[in-house]
Amino acid sequence: MGEVTLTIDGRQVTVPAGTSVLEAATQAGVKIPTLCYLEEINEIGSCRLCVVEIEGARTLAASCVTPAAQGMVVHTNTKQVREARRAVLELIISNHPFECLTCVRSGSCELQALAESLGIREIRFEGAKSHHSVDESTPSIVRDPDKCILCRRCVAVCEQVQGVSAINVSGRGFNSVVGPAGELPLNDVACTLCGQCVLVCPTGALSEVDSTREVWKALADPKKQVVV
């Protein structure tokens, strides 16, 4: 299969032919931000946060779907790259609820972490926001489409890893939504409630049912006998 040697931010790295620039950067110890990428499962370059500058190329390239080439020189932190990533992330956040303090994923949200790392404090883009009902039909998974960033990680893991295909993307453009076909509740389709979609979701769009309040309420009920 052979190997190729390229330079990423001044570091030379040799990788097997066919390796993506993102994987090569990881091997070289260079971190490139991603949202949609899941190694060998979801490599579609849709979020565009992993863009890099390649000498000789006319445009920025999504590193997760760009194969490393012999002699390639890659820059991951130029002004153009930083501005592109900020613009992309601001556009994603512009159609996202500002509920970080009360969100179940606060503190462990990849979108929140990226906004922090890129220094985003204000959103320049204002416009319509999508509004969907929260799906609480299953006993273990909550689906909140308004927090979905259309990364398709959940779709990929449901189809390629679990072999279920309970969810997919429907609609186009701004009207795109991830969920069961026909806008059915998750409990009415072939979902096995395995929870793999929750594990890979980068935001609070998919989460586990939280019964903490009910537990505390039961513990505080004087009519109940608590055995420790």
**Inter-residue contact 73 to 33 (CB < 8 Å):** no
Angle at 56 between CA 54 and CA 60, to 5 degrees: 40
Q: Two tokens at 27? A: 């091997």
How much is the pLDDT for 1?
67
How much is the pLDDT for 186?
97
pTM confidence score = 0.89
pLDDT string in tens for the chain (228-residue length): 699 999 999 999 999 999 999 999 999 999 999 999 999 999 999 999 999 999 999 999 999 999 999 999 999 999 999 999 999 999 999 999 999 999 999 999 999 999 999 999 888 887 778 899 999 999 999 999 999 999 999 999 999 999 999 999 999 988 899 999 998 999 999 999 999 999 999 999 999 998 888 888 888 888 888 777
Give the C-alpha distances (Å, rounded to integers) separating 20 from 4, 34, 52, 85, 97.
11, 13, 12, 19, 33
**Inter-residue contact 48 to 88 (CB < 8 Å):** yes
How much is the pLDDT for 7?
98
Give the C-alpha distances (Å, rounded to integers) separating 122 from 18, 51, 94, 203, 226.
39, 22, 10, 19, 48
Three-state DSSP class for residue 174: helix
Domains detected in the chain: 3-87 (3.10.20.740), 130-213 (3.30.70.20)
